[in-house]
Structure 1
Amino acid sequence: MALRPEIHHLLTLLKISPEDLLFTDDPPLSTLPKSTRIALVDHNRLEPALRVFFQDANVRAIIDHHEDEGRSPNAKPRIIEKSGSCASLVTNYFKDVFPTNGVVRGELARLGIAAALIDTTNLTNKVTEHDLSAVEFLESVIKGMPVEPGGEKWDRQKFFDGIWDAKNDIDQMPLRDLLRKDWKEWTEDNGKKLGIACIVRDLEWLQSRPNQDSFLQGVKSWAHERGLDLVSVMTTIGQGDEFKRELMVWALKDSIKGTVPAFEEKAQKADLQLQSWRDGGLDLKDGGRKAWRQFNLVASRKQVSPLLRESLREVVVEMEGGRESKV
């Protein structure tokens, strides 16, 4: 919870105790029966920690907005569609069984709309019809709820601003926490492992923080802690016309440093509109690390991660004995 100040803000606003939340170790995965039925939300493939105990057949439902990895084809529902927020897909699926009265109706609506608004920057970025439909429905629920004595009428902008400000209150957070705050990682079938951190500050800020460890050393240390072959940091800052994206990719082993130029080539074909950051200020001469300003502002981690993963799978690596083969 310490990593997610926006969640703490929202729970406080809705008077929900963090003790009421369930986490991945509640209960420990090892104690669950092999027949456990699993629903995947905001991803469509079992993560490594789950694959230790379960198989694709355990997955009975999927609602996600990332690239379809083709797993668990018999899941019902199996909704994998483009949307700014996965919460929008979840909301639209459960509209017909949404609580019709009681305090929980309003609390669920606020929880759902909070995720949709943050993911789409208050419906200004990556917005699809799924998001518009979900927010319209959730707002109708909220506006239909009685205002508590001393309470305020619904104000979407004020509600969003409170969550946004909490999410960006990270100035005192150590780099390791910033990296793992909004973190996703993947282990490919060939055993190669990569991870992407998303941070709501720019690379200049990350490099110039006083009384903090070196940015690059901190990233490298975190990547080694996670056992990664490839690490990436994506940054965002600002809203509206001031919104900006940056991206850094770092191959941590000489054998896969070809992943970086391979990704750059794919990124240009995918129109990510990359431009070298500060004349190569973070780049390695051997090409194993590069940073860019990203002018395609719509392309988030959902669009970048498939390109990185494909590049890592395809890169030519030097095998023992001097041979080369495709990973």
Structure 2
Amino acid sequence: MSIRKMATFTSLQQFLVGSKQRFNLANPNAPVHLVVGNESADLDSFVSSILYAFLDTIIKAPSPHKSEQMHTADKEVSSFFNRLPIPTIPVLSIPHNEVSLRPEHAYLASQLSFSLADIPTLSDLPASLDPSKTSITLVDHNVLQPPLAPHFSNSVKSIIDHHVDEDMHTEATPRVVIPAGSCTSLIANHFRTFYSTHWNSLPDSIHSEIARLALAPILIDTANMKAESKVTPVDLVQVTEFLERAGEGFDRTAFYNGLQTAKGDITGLSIDGLLRKDYKQWKEKNGIVLGVSAITRSLSWVVQKAGGIEAFSTELDKYAKDRGVDIVIVMTTDNSKGFRRDLLIWGTTDRTRGFAQSFEDSMNEKFRLERWPKEGDEVTANIAIEGMKAWTQASLDLSRKQVAPVLREIANKL
């Protein structure tokens, strides 16, 4: 059956399947543009990489030649990608087997046209990928991390991020590193600013899908726009515009609640899975490696699930050794009895044994640290492990985004 020749996509599923096929079949001598989110592969990175790659593709794609033969729908997608001199491909910074650790991603995909299997991950990177033929856009972080960093650091050509600027890849253009509730807001704003007519090239069938995709991390990262300390003007503008495009019958509250419920559904994960689900790692200039796992349950719940503090420390030790980490950090948040933050730090090597104490001595007042477990906690844990300390953090507004730079600064002085 012949169809009108495709000038753009009618669904995100078409784009993702086509980009993954083009990626897997890529000639190692052909150039490729990768859009890479951070190593936690959280909802903001997940959506940011897809949104940037999709919008970059539709505004740069050449029109089909009138002389080209028309094909069936699936071959039209392949034909579209074959017309791209440099395809823009979203990549999740995790292997395939870790995608299932993020149920909020599965929930979002269930509300849209694609499945998680459609999205390229590190497992899809061709071994023959040539760094000299590869350009990379970083989204939701501003320093390329392992395993890509050793080979592709010189390939970073552009950055859009909302974290603390680490002053790396300074030649990147554009290089947008400014505060915002969500990196997705900055990406939407970037394309809105520089390509003012790009929305007009999209068919109606995909307008609502793009809007719902983008709304997901913005709403999650700003507590449905109620976390005033996180919401910036760019978030307000983008939420307003995307809500207008989300389509008839879109229920913002139900959508947000569904994502939030899915994100908190971690009861089936092992301790290793909990540590891997939302993980970030940094290597400092002095060689110290920090690994930070964020878990959406209380520290007491995690320790009980592990079978006690000794069993939990055994899991942490294995996890640290597998990743070459010198300082293990676990940050937990819990809403079951009012919002709460707990923080565990363990310097696992001779060089880092005193790190937790240094953090407590210098940051006790700022973070308003209270020794964990507190009276009334449903766990009895006497931490007698050298180099390990844990606290309840009374400064509730200090999330990983604010805490990580402090931890890294202290680590750099070791």
Same fold at TM > 0.5: yes
Name the CA distance, whole Å, in 2 between partners of 1:210 and 1:292.
18
The equivalences for 1:284-299 within 5 A come to 284=384, 286=386, 288-299=387-398
> For this pair of structures, how many residues does the alignment match?
303
1:278 and 2:373 aligned: yes
Correspondence for 1:106: 208
Name the CA distance, whole Å, in 2 between partners of 1:133 and 1:284.
50
**Secondary structure, counterpart of 2:305 in structure 1:** coil
Correspondence for 2:22: none
1:75 and 2:172 aligned: yes
Moved more, 213-222 or 165-174: 213-222
Q: What CA RMSD, in Å, does the superposition of the two structures yield over aligned residues?
A: 2.3
Question: Which amino acid counterpart does residue 172 of structure 2 have in structure 1?
Answer: A
Name the CA distance, whole Å, in 1 between partners of 2:399 and 2:356.
18
**Secondary structure, counterpart of 2:224 in structure 1:** coil
Correspondence for 1:119: 221
Per-residue Cα deviation, 1:207-260 (whole angstroms, up to 9, x for no partner): 222879922222222112111100100001118x92211111110012212222
Name the CA distance, whole Å, in 1 between partners of 2:322 and 2:284.
18
Per-residue Cα deviation, 1:105-141 (whole angstroms, up to 9, x for no partner): 2111111110111112212232222322221121121
Q: How far off is 1:76 after superposition?
A: 1.4
User: Against the structure 1 CA distance between its residues 140 and 30, is the aligned structure 2 distance closer, same or farther, given a 3 Å change threshold?
Assistant: same
Per-residue Cα deviation, 1:138-165 (whole angstroms, up to 9, x for no partner): 11211xx3x4xxxxx1211110011111
1:302 counterpart (389, 401, 404): 401
Correspondence for 1:92: 189
**Secondary structure, counterpart of 2:132 in structure 1:** coil
User: Against the structure 1 CA distance between its residues 172 and 211, is the aligned structure 2 distance closer, same or farther, given a 3 Å change threshold?
Assistant: farther
**Secondary structure, counterpart of 1:173 in structure 2:** coil
Q: How far off is 1:29 after superposition?
A: 5.6
Correspondence for 2:241: 137
Q: What are the ranges of 5 or more consecutive residues in structure 1 without an aligned counterpart?
A: 148-152, 316-327
Correspondence for 1:172: 268
Name the CA distance, whole Å, in 1 between partners of 2:186 and 2:224.
16
Name the CA distance, whole Å, in 2 between partners of 1:91 and 1:207.
40
Larger radius of gyration: 2
1:155 and 2:251 aligned: yes
Name the CA distance, whole Å, in 1 between partners of 2:292 and 2:127.
25
Contact 1:29 1:50 in 2 (8 A): no
Q: What are the ranges of 5 or more consecutive residues in structure 2 without an aligned counterpart?
A: 1-98, 375-379
User: Against the structure 1 CA distance between its residues 282 and 133, is the aligned structure 2 distance closer, same or farther, given a 3 Å change threshold?
Assistant: farther
Name the CA distance, whole Å, in 1 between partners of 2:237 and 2:356.
39
Correspondence for 2:71: none
Contact 1:83 1:89 in 2 (8 A): yes
Correspondence for 1:189: 285
Identity over aligned pairs, percent: 38
Name the CA distance, whole Å, in 1 between partners of 2:344 and 2:324.
18
**Secondary structure, counterpart of 1:54 in structure 2:** helix
Question: Which amino acid counterpart does residue 134 of structure 1 have in structure 2?
Answer: Q
Name the CA distance, whole Å, in 1 between partners of 2:274 and 2:260.
16
Q: How far off is 1:302 after superposition?
A: 1.0
User: Against the structure 1 CA distance between its residues 134 and 264, is the aligned structure 2 distance closer, same or farther, given a 3 Å change threshold?
Assistant: farther
Moved more, 248-257 or 91-100: 91-100
**Secondary structure, counterpart of 1:231 in structure 2:** strand
Name the CA distance, whole Å, in 1 between partners of 2:382 and 2:236.
39
Contact 1:6 1:164 in 2 (8 A): yes
Q: TM-score, normalised by structure 1?
A: 0.85
Question: Which amino acid counterpart does residue 403 of structure 2 have in structure 1?
Answer: V
